[in-house]
Amino acid sequence: MRFRDRPTVVYLVLVRTDALRKLVPPFPVPTVPDFTALALARREDLRTWSLHLLATHVLIGGATRRGKGSVLWSMVRALAGGVSSGLVRLWVIDPKGGMEFAMGRPMFARFACKSFEAMADLLDEAVTVMRERQTRLAGVVRVHTPTVDDPLVVVVIDEMAALTAYLQDSELKKRIANSLGLLLSQGAGVGVLVVAALQDPRKDVLPFRDLFPTRIALGLTEESQVDMVLGDGARNRGALADQMPRWAKGVGYVILDGTPDPMRVRFSYLSDDHIRAMAEEHPAPAHAADILAQVGRETTPEPERASVPRQVARPLLPKSLLDALNPKSDTPEEDA
């Protein structure tokens, strides 16, 4: 380095407390969301971290009670202006029976929370939307531009392992896996995106983990899980998600654009009152049913299972042997 190029002033910053210790309040709702810069979190340098959502899929990995809901609701809030204007359609799957997302139901063009058949139908219909757009846009554009007439479809899935690993119905499980594989491999370019959260990022739980270009790691339980979520070498570069303190709910690591080094951020926290107010102020428009959607109900009702009649217990021995062992007693009445 030449002498004249050497710096004359050096700034030394001494960190006395954790900059992410305080809760991050919800960010303002933009009237028109910028899909290339959705404000979701605060960085350690107190600047805002923004998510580039356009033409990508997002995977959120984190142990239970580590703040996955903060990430998902922060994203929903950043998209709320587009939801009410018709620029965005939120199709939400909540396998926990609606415990996480039921409060925001007015914002969702599609919502499935009880029936796994409804969840499979939702994903199948997302594939139908994707196929239609591929046919219409092929040779015209390479990346879909959201408009009110042709909105961005964001499929939000909480606890994804309930669909890919823990579901007992093998046929439904296969259906869901096929639809997810198609959406993750082909849907980003035509504006059908998947945002999924899960606790266990292993391959046998989520076989198509590598199809998520954008990943966020919250508090995890094992060292190996950090690289599973963020990519090989992420932990060695500073993403110590397995050493997250208990207070750090909603704190996680993201990969900044243009650099392999992870950045620690804290996502905004939305209380129940915030969510109710947001859902009331930014409901999905009535015409949200134009893309195989209908606000406020599932595609397929909860299936009615016929009761199985109980079989009468049969004796272990054949009837002929029972008759031989229990002969009818000769009585005077029978002789008469």
> What is residue 76's three-state secondary structure?
helix
pLDDT band at 81 (very low <50, low <70, confident <90, very high): very high
Inform me whether the pLDDT recorded for 269 exceeds 80: yes
Cβ atoms 104, 270 nearer than 8 A:
no
* Lowest pLDDT segment from 119-128, 143-152, 321-330: 321-330
The pLDDT of residue 291: 57
The pLDDT of residue 309: 56
Inform me whether the pLDDT recorded for 286 exceeds 70: yes
Inform me whether the pLDDT recorded for 226 exceeds 90: yes
* Lowest pLDDT segment from 33-47, 112-126, 197-211: 197-211
Inform me whether the pLDDT recorded for 33 exceeds 60: yes
Average pLDDT over every residue of 200-226: 91
* % of the chain exceeding 70 in pLDDT: 85
Could you tell me which residues come within 8 angstroms of residue 163 by beta carbon, excluding any fewer than 6 positions away?
93, 95, 116, 119, 157, 173, 176, 180
Beta bridge partners of 91: 110, 155
The pLDDT of residue 172: 94
Indicate the average pLDDT of the chain: 86
**pLDDT tens digit string along 118-128?**
999 999 999 99
Q: DSSP characters for 95-111?
A: TTTTTTTGGGGGG-SEE
> What is residue 1's three-state secondary structure?
coil
Could you tell me which residues come within 8 angstroms of residue 89 by beta carbon, excluding any fewer than 6 positions away?
83, 109, 110, 151, 152, 153, 154, 284, 288, 291, 293
The pLDDT of residue 297: 37
Higher pLDDT, 122 or 292: 122
Type of residue at 282: H
Cβ atoms 234, 6 nearer than 8 A:
no
Inform me whether the pLDDT recorded for 303 exceeds 50: no
Higher pLDDT, 290 or 205: 205
Dist CA 281 CA 267 (whole Å): 22
Could you tell me which residues come within 8 angstroms of residue 228 by beta carbon, excluding any fewer than 6 positions away?
61, 201, 202, 209
Dist CA 9 CA 326 (whole Å): 109
Long-range Cβ contacts of 100-104 (<8 Å, 24+ apart) = 100/69, 100/72, 100/158, 101/72, 101/156, 101/158, 103/272, 103/275, 103/276, 103/279, 104/73, 104/76, 104/275, 104/278, 104/279
Average pLDDT over every residue of 231-240: 91
Inform me whether the pLDDT recorded for 316 exceeds 90: no
As given in the structure block, the two tokens for residue 107 are 């914002």
Residue 286 has a CB neighbour count (10 Å cut-off) of: 9
Half-sphere exposure of 323 (CA within 13 A, CB side): 3
Q: DSSP characters for 167-212?
A: ---HHHHHHHHHHHHHHHHHSGGGTEEEEEEES---TTT-TTGGG-
Inform me whether the pLDDT recorded for 310 exceeds 80: no
CA 138, 145, 214, 129 torsion-angle sign: negative
pLDDT band at 205 (very low <50, low <70, confident <90, very high): confident
Cβ atoms 134, 190 nearer than 8 A:
yes
Question: Which segments of the chain does DSSP mark as H helices, in order?
Answer: 68-85, 116-137, 161-164, 170-186, 223-230, 272-281, 319-325, 332-335
All structural domains of the chain, each given as residue ranges with its CATH number in brackets, are: 24-303 (3.40.50.300)
Type of residue at 224: S
Inform me whether the pLDDT recorded for 180 exceeds 70: yes
Cβ atoms 124, 179 nearer than 8 A:
yes
Inform me whether the pLDDT recorded for 134 exceeds 90: yes
Inform me whether the pLDDT recorded for 236 exceeds 90: yes
Residue 175 has a CB neighbour count (10 Å cut-off) of: 20
The pLDDT of residue 17: 82
Average pLDDT over every residue of 178-204: 94
The pLDDT of residue 289: 53
pLDDT band at 259 (very low <50, low <70, confident <90, very high): confident
